[in-house]
Chain A
Amino acid sequence: LAKTTQPISMDSYEGQEVNITCSHNNIATNDYITWYQQFPSQGPRFIIQGYKTKVTNEVASLFIPADRKSSTLSLPRVSLSDTAVYYCLVGDIPGSGSARQLTFGSGTQLTVLP
């Protein structure tokens, strides 16, 4: 299983850009990097996925350096409603035949302060 390391918690203020870095030193060639967001008492919600370089969608950007041993989720101008746990996953989806299945670590608790 691909192991990831993230900060346990982060604080930010409304309107700031937040960068959450995830370390995944044993990432394999076929592994994708996926980020999920989870609010209390809800299931996780997909945010973004990438393989290399930079990926951007309407809610976030994902930066992946050339060696792919880490990745950074960037949330522009956060608001109070972005307070949640953010999970970084590396691997392939269960059932794909890959032994490197996506696993959820403990995540990063982001708290946005007013």
Chain B
Amino acid sequence: NAGVTQTPKFRVLKTGQSMTLLCAQDMNHEYMYWYRQDPGMGLRLIHYSVGEGTTAKGEVPDGYNVSRLKKQNFLLGLESAAPSQTSVYFCASIRGLADNEQFFGPGTRLTVL
């Protein structure tokens, strides 16, 4: 099993550009999450999904959109990137409510100029 994978690993954008980050998990997990981590800080929840076709807002959702068209994939979109969105983005998944262990991907380092 590959676990949780993220694409791309690195990306540099100019202000106003758009992009999509892809998270994929092969563990048949129901719940998936997108976090951002800024230097010296903990992770903050952007959006999450409790199942295929469902999404919900987390702590810092503004400027981001998400989609979960397939159970194994969770996409994070930036429609018009801003320098404030420069961060490391982590995706995570959980099997279900009975299991609180989150499995994290390796992260995507995004720089917005």
A contacts, CB < 8 Å to B:
1, 32, 34, 36, 41-46, 49, 87, 92-96, 101-107
Contacts and interface: CB of A to CB of B under 8 A. Distances in A.
B92 to A, nearest CB: 7
| Chain B interface, >50% SS class | strand
Interface of B: 4, 31, 33, 35, 40-45, 48-50, 56, 58-59, 90, 92, 94, 97, 100-107
Top 3 closest pairs, chain A to chain B, by CB: A43-B104, A104-B42, A95-B50
| Chain A interface, >50% SS class | loop
12 contacts: A42-B106, A46-B102, A87-B42, A92-B100, A93-B31, A93-B97, A93-B100, A94-B31, A95-B31, A96-B97, A103-B42, A103-B59
A95 to B, nearest CB: 4
A50 to B, nearest CB: 11
B59 A43 contact: no
Contacts of A95: 31, 48-50, 56, 97
Contacts of B42: 87, 103-107
